[in-house]
Amino acid sequence: MAYIGAQPRLGNFQACDAISTSATDTFNLLVGGTAIFPQSAQHCLVSLNGVLQAPISSYTISGSTIVFASALTSADSIDFITILGDTLDLGVPSDDTVGAAQIKADLISGTTALAATPADTDELLLSDAGTLKRIDYSHIKSIKQIVNGNFGTEQNISNTSYADSAITLNITPASTSHKVLVIVAPNTDGYVNESDHRQFYLQVLRASTVLMIKQIQIGAVKNPTNNYVYGSIDGTMVYLDSPSSTSELTYKVQAKVSDTANNCNVRFNGTSSAGHSTMTLIEVD
C-alpha cells in the first residue's frame, strides 16, 4: 500500500500517547507525557475510527497539536498517531559519540576556499585547552592597519631649535590597547662649509610628545668644488609607540643643527642623494 503524502525515509518513529476525544478539533500531541512537534502533517500517520486520514485535507499540524478538519465527538476514536520523524534526521548524537571516523576527510578541502583576506567578523575555529571554540578574525590578526607616506620635496633646515620637516602622517587606532609601530626612513644629508665638523639631530614625535632622537655627525667627505663637507647618513628610525588612544594621531619628524656656523645645514631629499623620504605607521595588537 502506498503512503499518503511524502514517503518516510529515515526518522525517529514515535507513537503518540492515547488521546481521548471530545467535542473539539484540536488535540495535544504527547510522547511519554512530553509534547512533540512533528515537522509537518505529511510526517504523521493518523487513524481515526479505523480509517487512515489524509494529511492537510483531513488534519493539519500546528506546533505540538493536531487540528482536524472538523470537530470530533466523544464517540470518535483516534486509533493511533505515529510520528515518522524529520526526513533524514538522525536526531541528536549522544555526548562524546562523534569522532574522527564520523567526519569526512575532505570536509574542509571539499568546500569553497577563501579567496581573500578574512573580514574582521569572519570566524575561525581554534582549540582552547582541548575545547573547540570559534573566534572572530579581528581578535587574532596582529596588523590592524598600515598607513604609508612618501615625501619627495627638497627641504633644508638650519635651525638650532627643532623645526618641522615635511615628513608627517596621521593614523586613528581602533583600540586603546593597540600599539603603533613607527618606521621613518628619511632621505637626508648634512653639510658644513670648509672642514668643520658639526652635528644635526632628527626626532620623531607623536603630536608634541618626543618618541626618539637620533644624532648625526657631519664631516665625512669634503667636496673639492665648493669645499662643503657632506655627511650623507642613514637616518632610519623605528619606534613602537603605545598611544592608548582611539583618536586621530599625528606623527612627524623634526630636525635641527648643532649651530649655524659655517653654513651648517641638514637637507631632506637633496639632489646629491636619490630617492624620497618615507614614513610608515603600522597599528598592531
Task: Quick: pLDDT tens for 60-92.
Answer: 999 999 999 999 999 999 999 999 865 555 667
Residue 99 above 50 pLDDT? Answer: yes
Q: Which one is predicted more confidently, 24 or 111? A: 24
- The pLDDT assigned to 173 comes to 95
Q: Which one is predicted more confidently, 273 or 68? A: 68
- The pLDDT assigned to 101 comes to 80
- The pLDDT assigned to 271 comes to 63
| Lookup result for grid cell 515518522 | 84
Residue 174 above 60 pLDDT? Answer: yes
pLDDT band (50, 70, 90) for residue 197: low
Phi and psi at residue 105, to the nearest 5°: -65, -30
Q: Report the C-alpha gap between 128 and 109 in whole angstroms.
A: 23
Over residues 157-170, the mean pLDDT reads 94
Residue 103 above 90 pLDDT? Answer: no
All three cell numbers of 272, joined, read 646629491
- Tell me the DSSP string of 230-279: EEE----EEEEE-----S-EEEEEEEEES--GGG-EEEES-TTS-S-EEE
* Residues above pLDDT 70, as percent of the chain: 81
Those residues with Cβ within 8 angstroms of residue 244's Cβ, 6 or more apart along the chain or in another chain: 176, 177
All three cell numbers of 162, joined, read 627643532
pLDDT band (50, 70, 90) for residue 227: very low
pLDDT band (50, 70, 90) for residue 121: confident
Residue 120 above 50 pLDDT? Answer: yes
The overall pTM is greater than 0.75: no
* Residues above pLDDT 90, as percent of the chain: 49
How would you class 220 by CB atoms within 10 Å of its CB: exposed for 0-12, middle for 13-18, buried for 19 or more?
A: middle
Residue 139 above 90 pLDDT? Answer: no
**Picking from 129-143, 155-169, 218-232, 258-272, which range would have the lowest pLDDT averaged per residue?**
218-232
- The pLDDT assigned to 145 comes to 92
81 Ramachandran zone, left/alpha/beta (phi>0; psi -120 to 50) = beta
pLDDT band (50, 70, 90) for residue 128: confident
Q: Which one is predicted more confidently, 151 or 259? A: 151
- The pLDDT assigned to 269 comes to 86
Q: Report the C-alpha gap between 68 and 281 in whole angstroms.
A: 71
* CATH number 2.40.50.140 is the correct assignment for the domain at 144-284: no
The DSSP H or E segment spanning 16 is: none
Q: Report the C-alpha gap between 239 and 274 in whole angstroms.
A: 25
- The pLDDT assigned to 131 comes to 85
Q: Report the C-alpha gap between 2 and 22 in whole angstroms.
A: 31
Domain limits, the chain: 14-83, 144-284
Residue 108 above 90 pLDDT? Answer: no
Residue 10 above 60 pLDDT? Answer: no
- The pLDDT assigned to 54 comes to 96
Query: What rounded mean pLDDT belongs to the chain?
Result: 84
Residue 17 above 60 pLDDT? Answer: yes
